[in-house]
Amino acid sequence: MEENLELEPAEPITGLRMNRRDFLKSTGSGIFLYFTIGDLPFLQEEVQGPRRRPSLPTDFNAFLKIGEDGRVSCYTGKIEMGQGPITSLAQELAEELDVPLDAVEMVMGDTDLCPWDMGTFGSMTTRIFGPALRNAGAQARQVLLELASENLNVPVSNLTAEKGVVFDRTSNMRRVSYGQLTKGKRIERHLTKPAVTKKPSEFKVIGKPTLRRDAKAKVTGSAKYSGDIQLPGMVYARLLRPPAHGAKLLDVDLSEAKKVEGVQIIHEGDFIAVLHKYPDVAEMALSKIKAKFDKPASGINDSTIFDHLLKVAPEGRVVASGGDLKEGKRAATFIVKETYLDGYKAHAPMEPHTAVVNIEGGKATVWASTQTPFGAKDEVAKELGIKPENVRVIPPFVGGGFGGKSANLQVIEAARCAKLTGKPVQVAWSRREEFFYDTFRPAAVIKIESGTTEGGKISFWEYHVYFAGERGSAQFYDIPHHSTLAHNSSWVGAQGSHPFATGPWRAPGNNTNTFARECHIDVMAAKAGIDPLEFRRRNLADQKMNLVLQAAADKFGWKPAKAPSGRGYGVACGIDAGTYVAAIAEVEVDKSTGGVKVKRVVCAQDMGLVINPEGATIQMEGCITMGLGYALREDIRFKDGEILDLNFDTYEIPRFSWVPQIETVILDRKDDAPQGGGEPAIVVMGAVIGNAIYDAVGVRLNRMPMSPERIKEALKRG
């Protein structure tokens, strides 16, 4: 632990060209608390596992500053894309430091100002970053109390802090503000051991529903997204795109495009970009390019993809196993065997991938819609052949990510154009490009064989997941003989599997896994003639899940009946990012059209300590609404590498008329560690709707989306 009480003059922060070391030097006086997530022994366990990158620097991960003005600034590499950390992280700091919420400023994702961070995904902000931040805040508060004790000549034990002021409990007259305490000092601390954080009974800010802090900028149109960055001399680049993945450019004629006034054209091999000071004029010029491509015929399309995937699937990796499947089969009174399918899904954030790159004096400044600013920084450095420290990435507001903005192709394209033209360049993908280059949620196949004994107990469970990814594949029921194998553990497939790029999609893997598992549980329940909720209870030793299911059932007013009851009720549960979630839905199926109207969804969640119940509720509502899409309509159609759904006219995402009555319950678990909140509720949406459809009309859809055509077909088959 270092302490430096020397006076250091505050320098103003000027220009964009400052690296972090300079920045730290220039930050003037105040109390600085640094912390490294991977180095905090009390968080080790959670950070390790497949996500921990070997390159985690020994440098700190984040820091906070309490300045002379009493304001608290938190510098973190996490980004805000709508999921709400700009509010919830500030709440955690305000709580531990006893300052008003609006005294806390969040500086997020700027790679020059903020310490390295692997990226904003995996619901890790609240689960892993949050606790570290609270500890840092608590330790900073301790430092302030010690300073105040010296300053006021009162023992720490007599001091209380409130709204950024420390006072003597015995004589309210003796008081000193944080600003006064830090004035002219520079105190640096590294968080190395747990500090004494507030107990839930002491919470004033944590757990209090708090409105978004960025809302004003967003409702007035002043919030800047990457595409809103306009620099002097900047040009917009539109790139020539192949008609299909894997297509090769054979021949190109640029002559007509060149005639458009003010355009500049880059032509380097098959990298062809049209640049203009107006994006729409660049687009118009691009449309004048005549290009011939060779389109390979792979024969793979959205109906043959499942056979193809099974053919190329690697051996399974054991995710979980126990007992002896043979024994379980012997004990079963009946066995059910099903295959579940899920097609490719687009992320389709309303803001397409966008980036602005400006290169000046060998240094690049990048504004980008990205969930991984530090990844983008390295990628740009590589593309430009400069050192990473000469690249600064600034993520403005991000217009939705859902996992899709972990990939930064648009940033590299903008960097390349900026380098070749010597001008600041903006690359803003069109909706077509967004669909074409999306890293889709992978198509996947899941095969389950299971059996049940006389008393409705599941005796065995054999589960194979192909290509969805293994998150959410391990079942949590109390099954004596079970085996879960993941054939391709990740949402990214090996060469030769997916015909285009795939990647993480909100709660990656878990949507598909939970759909299969929870539908299959219902198949068994129906076959056993037991109410699906009761069937789950009989097979759940996990009390936590039982309580979550009960909370949903109470809110819904669940009355037991075996399915199909004709009522259109469905239930499903799952675990994601440490959070337990259960949902019950009511649907209506129009037998003549196959259309499904989801009328009501009740969703209960045990997510441990909730920092901002308002934010957590919004995330649940968002998950439920977004989840309607993949369950009922969303599916990327493609043929030989050609993406057939390239805009919202054919790729349907949820609309106002789809939205059911949504009711959410968050279990009060203040004493438990906080868990993820931005993803869990979406994982149950496929199964809860599938099970409700079965309950309504007695047909099972084993393939998502459960579109009207597929439902009609299933009804015809009976």
> Strand 165-168's sheet: what is its strand order?
159-162, 165-168, 175-177
Q: Is the Cα torsion angle 569, 575, 576, 579 positive or negative in sign?
A: positive
For position 225 contacting other proteins by CB under 8 A, the verdict is: yes
Alpha helices in 422-556 (DSSP H): 431-436, 510-528, 532-538, 543-556
Q: Is the Cα torsion angle 39, 45, 47, 49 positive or negative in sign?
A: positive
φ, ψ dihedrals at 232, nearest 5°: -60, 130
Q: How far apart (Å, rounded) are the C-alpha atoms in residues 26 and 13?
A: 7
For position 211 contacting ligand FES by CB under 6 A, the verdict is: no
Among 343, 395, 400, 574, binds ligand FES (CB under 6 A): 400
First-to-final CA distance of the chain? 71
Q: Which two tokens stand for residue 604?
A: 């209960």
Q: How far is the CB of 219 from ligand FES (least distance, A)?
A: 11
Among 116, 167, 293, 397, binds other proteins (CB under 8 A): 397
Of the pair 82, 472, the CB lying nearest ligand FES is at 82
- The answer to whether residues 616 and 666 touch, using CB atoms and an 8 Å cutoff, is yes
Please report the DSSP string for 597-641 in residue order: EEEEEEEEEE-SS-S-HHHHHHHHHHHHHHHHHHHHT----EETT
- What does 81 bind: other proteins, ligand FES, none (CB cut-off 5 to 8 Å by kind)? other proteins
Residues 89-148 that bind other proteins (CB under 8 A): none
- The answer to whether residues 565 and 696 touch, using CB atoms and an 8 Å cutoff, is no
- The answer to whether residues 190 and 2 touch, using CB atoms and an 8 Å cutoff, is yes
Q: How far is the CB of 690 from ligand FES (least distance, A)?
A: 26
Give the total of residues touching other proteins (CB under 8 A): 58
Among 341, 530, 607, 623, binds other proteins (CB under 8 A): 623
Window contacting other proteins (CB under 8 A); options: 146-154, 384-392, 438-446, 650-658: 650-658
Q: How far is the CB of 82 from ligand FES (least distance, A)?
A: 5
- The answer to whether residues 84 and 212 touch, using CB atoms and an 8 Å cutoff, is yes
Q: How far is the CB of 572 from other proteins (least distance, A)?
A: 18
For position 626 contacting other proteins by CB under 8 A, the verdict is: yes
Among 280, 294, 307, 454, binds other proteins (CB under 8 A): 280
- What does 640 bind: ligand FES, other proteins, none (CB cut-off 5 to 8 Å by kind)? none
Please report, for residues 104, 485, 592, the alpha-carbon distance to residue 707 in angstroms, rounded to integers and kept in the order given: 47, 29, 13
Among 31, 240, 281, 688, binds other proteins (CB under 8 A): 281
Cis status, amide bond into 564, omega within 30 of 0: yes
Q: How far is the CB of 24 from other proteins (least distance, A)?
A: 31
For position 48 contacting other proteins by CB under 8 A, the verdict is: no
Q: Which residues pair with 236 in a beta bridge?
A: 276, 426
For position 232 contacting other proteins by CB under 8 A, the verdict is: no
| DSSP assignment letter at 165 | E
For position 350 contacting ligand FES by CB under 6 A, the verdict is: yes
For position 221 contacting other proteins by CB under 8 A, the verdict is: yes
Q: How far is the CB of 212 from ligand FES (least distance, A)?
A: 10
For residue 3, give every residue at least 6 positions away whose Cβ sits within 8 Å of its Cβ, in sequence order, or none: 187, 188, 189
> In terms of Cα–Cα distance, which of 53, 55, 73 is closest to 64?
73
Of the pair 430, 550, the CB lying nearest other proteins is at 430
For residues 357 to 396, the per-residue mask of contacts with ligand FES, x marking binding by CB under 6 A and - elsewhere, is: ----------------------------------------
Among 82, 328, 375, 568, binds ligand FES (CB under 6 A): 82
What residue number has its CB nearest to ligand FES? 350
Q: How far is the CB of 224 from other proteins (least distance, A)?
A: 7
- What does 453 bind: ligand FES, other proteins, none (CB cut-off 5 to 8 Å by kind)? none
Residues 165-204 that bind other proteins (CB under 8 A): none
- Secondary structure percentages of the chain, helix, strand, coil, to 5: 35, 25, 45
Q: Which two tokens stand for residue 194?
A: 């747990």
Give the total of residues touching ligand FES (CB under 6 A): 3
For position 212 contacting other proteins by CB under 8 A, the verdict is: yes
For position 211 contacting other proteins by CB under 8 A, the verdict is: yes
Q: Which two tokens stand for residue 184?
A: 């002219």
Cis status, amide bond into 314, omega within 30 of 0: no
Q: How far apart (Å, rounded) are the C-alpha atoms in residues 216 and 208?
A: 20
Q: With residue 587 as reference, give the H or E element that holds it.
A: strand 579-589
Q: How far is the CB of 605 from ligand FES (least distance, A)?
A: 21
Residues 258-277 that bind ligand FES (CB under 6 A): none
For position 662 contacting other proteins by CB under 8 A, the verdict is: yes
Residues that bind other proteins (CB under 8 A): 81-84, 211-212, 214-225, 227-228, 230, 236, 277-281, 348-352, 397-400, 402, 428, 430-431, 614, 618, 621-626, 647-649, 653-657, 659, 662
Binding site for ligand FES (CB under 6 A): 82, 350, 400
